[in-house]
Every structure is written in structure tokens, then in C-alpha cells.
């Protein structure tokens, strides 16, 4: 594990920052928003702008504020009541940020997203254009998941993941995830107070998830989701900083190059925009299992996936939808836009491309997934 600081780390980080602030940092233990805390976060964000950093904010807190405004004793379990609380609380959340930023003459914009907004290619491009336009005009986007309409199938799962996907969307240089922990430790500091803090590591280091105490499955909060978010952000070349929001002036200190928290840096060059979009899809429609030969071809040569290398099909997908490519051990190695629906793909298993017309009754594409629509995932 890398503990020494790189030259780039010491020099500080400029450019475009995506900053995610969690509920624990801006709410009063379930009793609504902590307005003085939000005012201090806004002061730091304005300071970053004066240092030449473009700022995009992902903020939690809508449900907690809604629960307080509606006089609920606790966060409701029923989804429709959670969504109602989010709708009410979002008004207070945005109002509070808008008021705080106006003190400095800075405009804000509310942006609510669901996973479907980023899974649909056209809406993805529209969201990118709108957000890029806001940033170029000097507006601070305040982004949250659209809890009011999101269903289990359309939600991100947590705002760490939302932050990473928006970082990909906008080509952010840095994703900052502020939490109530000092950063990532080599073991759980709640159980081992002497656990060393990891100062810097590679975002795709598979040992990190074990240290985080989770499998990396997306859920609400937790260090494992932050590691997963860092891996996702790394696909577009963004570094991730996980730091304590309890540290005084933490954002300004980070901008000046001070080593606070944990930095997770990308290993490779950014993935091209279209393939980055493919890699970022959390909702895949099906799975193709590949033989060893096909896996080797994809990993080593980056060629298209042919039907002859596919040994099994699962799921119910249509042509043009995102599918996952796994090897015989079940490890995901790639994702792509498939050229055939599930029933057609089933007929083409292990078959050479020259047999496609006789098997399907029409001359389709020779590839199961064309290389331009295929992205190899790092492990």
C-alpha cells in the first residue's frame, strides 16, 4: 500500500471538483438541517472558487429535513412516505443553500437526477450539456438524487455513487467525499482505534474493499461504497479524496495541498467518453458468459466479441441494451451494447459468424458486441 505522497499530491489539486457532503455533516441528528454548518460549507466552497477551482456540489439531507418539517418522529420505512419527506425537505435544502450562497453573490441551481437520467444516452448527453453550461456560467449546481420519483430500479443507491457518476459525466479532476471518518484505515477504526490511516493508494487496489469491511455492493453509506465510487471515478481519470468533514476548513486545506484523509488515484488514462458511459452503467439487462479464448481476445487485443466465444446467455435484453460479459468464474470483464436480443443470442451460442443468417433467417451483424460499443473493466 502506497503511503508516501506523490509530487502532484503535495502540489495541491486544482481544476474541477465534485464535492459530496453527507447527511451526518449537515443535519442535526434527524432534527432537520444544521444551517450554521451549511453556511460554513458554503464559505469554503466560495473560497475554492476564488482559488480557481470549479465547484459542483452533491448534497444529502432532503429526507432528514422533510422528516423534521413534517413532524415525523423518525425516518419512515414506507417508500412513498420517504419520497414525500424528500419532496418537502428538498425545498428547505435548496432554500438554505441558495440563501447562503447569495451572501457571496453566487448563483446556484437545483439538479435532481435518477440513474435512468444517466443510463439513457440522450438524457446523459442532455444532463452533461446542462451541467457544463451552468459551470461555465459560474453557477454552483446543487445535485441530489431525485428521491421523490426514483424507484429501486432507477436509484443510484447512495450519493457516493451519484457523485462518482457525475464526476464521470463532467470530467471532474477530483471527487471529494466528506464523511465522519478521517479517511480509509487498514482496519475498522471503531474496532481498532490504532488502525493506520491510508494516506494514498490506487483506486483500483482490490485490497481496499477488504479494508473497508465490505464486498463493495452498493448500499446506503459506508466506507465500501466510497471505495466503489472511487473506482468508478477513476475511469474518467478523477482522483478521489475521502476525508473527515469534522476537520476545520478541510476543503481549503485540501486545495492548498495539505494531506488530509485518504487519496485514491487512478492508474490509467481516462476511458473515452462513450466507453466511460458504458462502464458506468449500474443497471445491466443481461449477461454473456465467455470462454477463455474470447476473454483473452478482449483483454489483450481489444477486438469485437463474436458469437463463437459466448457460451451462455442470461437475462431478458433487447438489441442495443447494456449487457455484462463474464468469464467462467463469474468475474465481470467487460460491458457493452449487444447487437442481438436474448433469444437471438441464445441461438448464436458458440456459432461462427458465417452461420448467423441460416440460424436467424436474416444477415445480422457479425459481432455479438462491436469493439466500439465494448469497454473492458479493470480489476
Confidence of residue 156 (pLDDT cuts 50, 70, 90): low
Spatial separation of the C-alpha atoms in residues 297 and 26, rounded to whole Å: 49
Spatial separation of the C-alpha atoms in residues 166 and 152, rounded to whole Å: 19
pLDDT at 147: 67
Confidence of residue 153 (pLDDT cuts 50, 70, 90): very low
Spatial separation of the C-alpha atoms in residues 87 and 148, rounded to whole Å: 6
Q: What is the pLDDT of residues 44-72, one digit of tens each?
A: 999 999 999 999 999 988 888 999 999 99
Contact predicate 123/83, CB 8 Å: no
pLDDT at 277: 77
pLDDT at 150: 57
Give the mean pLDDT of 296-306: 90
Q: Please determine, for residue 194, whether its predicted confidence score (pLDDT) is greater than 90.
A: no
Give the mean pLDDT of 30-35: 83
Spatial separation of the C-alpha atoms in residues 217 and 239, rounded to whole Å: 21
pLDDT at 188: 74
Binding-site positions for ATP: 20, 179-180
Confidence of residue 252 (pLDDT cuts 50, 70, 90): very high
Spatial separation of the C-alpha atoms in residues 275 and 159, rounded to whole Å: 22
pLDDT at 78: 87
Ordered domains of the chain (ranges, CATH): 7-276 (3.40.1160.10), 284-376 (2.30.130.10)
pTM of structure: 0.76
Q: Please determine, for residue 143, whether its predicted confidence score (pLDDT) is greater than 60.
A: yes
Lowest-pLDDT range of 90-104, 139-153, 161-175, 318-332? 139-153
Confidence of residue 79 (pLDDT cuts 50, 70, 90): confident
From the CB of residue 171, how many other CB atoms can be counted at a distance below 10 Å? 17
Binding-site positions for substrate: 60, 147, 159
Binding-site positions: 20, 60, 147, 159, 179-180
Contact predicate 298/334, CB 8 Å: yes
Spatial separation of the C-alpha atoms in residues 309 and 30, rounded to whole Å: 53
pLDDT at 122: 77
CA 157 to chain centre: 10
Confidence of residue 190 (pLDDT cuts 50, 70, 90): confident
Confidence of residue 13 (pLDDT cuts 50, 70, 90): low
Q: What is the 8-class DSSP label of residue 27? A: B
pLDDT at 37: 93
Concatenated DSSP letters of 333-373: EEEEE-SS-HHHHHHTTT--GGGHHHHHSS---S-SB-GGG
Dihedral of the alpha carbons of 154, 45, 250, 229, in degrees to the nearest 10: 20
Q: What share of the chain is helix, strand, coil (3-state, %, to 5)?
A: 40, 20, 40
Give the mean pLDDT of 111-140: 87
Spatial separation of the C-alpha atoms in residues 190 and 13, rounded to whole Å: 30
pLDDT at 22: 86
32 sits in the region (left: phi over 0; alpha: psi -120 to 50; else beta) called left
Q: In what order do the strands lie in the sheet with 239-244?
A: 108-113, 140-145, 54-59, 16-21, 174-179, 239-244, 262-265, 200-202
Spatial separation of the C-alpha atoms in residues 341 and 323, rounded to whole Å: 10
Q: What is the pLDDT of residues 315-372, one digit of tens each?
A: 999 888 899 999 999 999 999 889 999 999 999 999 999 999 999 998 888 999 988 8
For residue 254, give the C-alpha cell. 485540501
Amino acid at each position: 500500500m502506497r503511503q508516501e505522497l506523490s509530487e502532484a499530491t503535495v502540489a495541491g489539486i486544482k481544476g474541477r471538483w465534485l464535492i459530496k457532503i453527507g447527511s451526518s455533516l449537515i443535519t442535526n441528528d434527524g432534527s432537520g438541517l444544521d444551517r450554521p454548518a451549511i453556511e460554513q460549507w458554503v464559505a469554503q466552497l466560495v473560497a475554492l472558487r476564488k482559488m480557481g477551482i470549479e465547484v459542483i456540489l452533491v448534497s444529502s439531507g432532503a429526507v432528514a429535513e422533510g422528516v423534521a418539517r413534517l413532524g415525523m418522529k423518525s425516518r419512515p420505512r414506507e417508500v412513498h412516505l420517504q419520497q414525500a419527506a424528500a419532496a418537502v425537505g428538498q425545498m428547505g435544502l435548496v432554500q438554505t443553500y441558495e440563501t447562503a450562497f447569495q451572501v457571496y453573490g453566487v448563483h446556484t441551481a437545483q439538479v435532481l437526477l435518477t440513474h435512468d437520467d444517466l443510463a439513457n444516452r440522450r438524457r446523459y448527453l442532455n444532463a452533461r450539456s446542462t451541467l457544463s453550461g451552468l459551470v461555465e456560467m459560474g453557477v454552483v449546481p446543487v445535485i441530489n438524487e431525485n428521491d421523490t420519483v426514483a424507484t429501486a430500479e432507477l436509484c443510484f443507491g447512495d450519493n457516493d455513487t451519484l457523485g462518482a457518476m457525475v464526476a464521470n459525466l463532467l470530467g471532474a479532476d477530483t471527487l471529494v467525499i466528506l464523511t465522519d471518518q478521517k479517511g480509509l484505515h487498514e482496519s475498522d477504526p471503531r474496532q481498532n482505534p490504532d488502525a493506520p490511516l491510508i494516506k494514498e493508494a490506487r483506486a483500483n487496489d482490490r485490497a481496499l474493499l477488504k479494508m473497508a469491511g465490505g464486498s463493495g455492493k452498493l448500499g446506503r453509506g459506508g466506507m465500501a461504497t466510497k471505495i466503489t465510487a472511487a473506482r468508478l471515478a477513476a475511469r474518467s481519470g478523477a482522483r478521489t479524496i475521502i476525508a473527515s468533514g469534522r476537520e476545520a476548513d478541510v476543503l481549503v486545506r485540501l486545495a492548498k495541498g495539505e494531506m488530509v484523509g485518504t487519496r485514491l488515484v487512478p492508474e490509467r488514462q481516462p476511458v473515452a467518453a462513450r466507453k466511460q458511459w458504458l462502464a458506468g452503467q449500474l443497471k445491466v439487462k443481461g449477461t454473456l458468459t465467455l470462454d477463455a479464448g474470447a476473454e483473452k481476445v478482449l483483454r489483450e487485443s481489444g477486438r469485437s466479441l463474436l458469437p463463437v466465444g459466448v457460451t451462455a446467455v442470461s437475462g431478458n435484453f433487447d438489441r442495443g441494451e447494456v449487457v455484462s460479459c463474464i468469464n467462467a468464474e463469474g468475474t465481470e470483464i467487460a460491458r457493452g451494447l449487444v447487437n442481438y436480443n436474448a433469444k437471438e443470442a441464445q441461438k448464436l451460442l458458440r456459432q461462427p459468424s458465417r452461420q448467423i443468417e441460416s440460424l436467424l433467417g436474416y444477415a445480422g451483424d457479425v459481432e455479438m458486441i462491436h469493439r466500439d460499443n465494448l469497454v473492458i473493466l479493470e480489476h
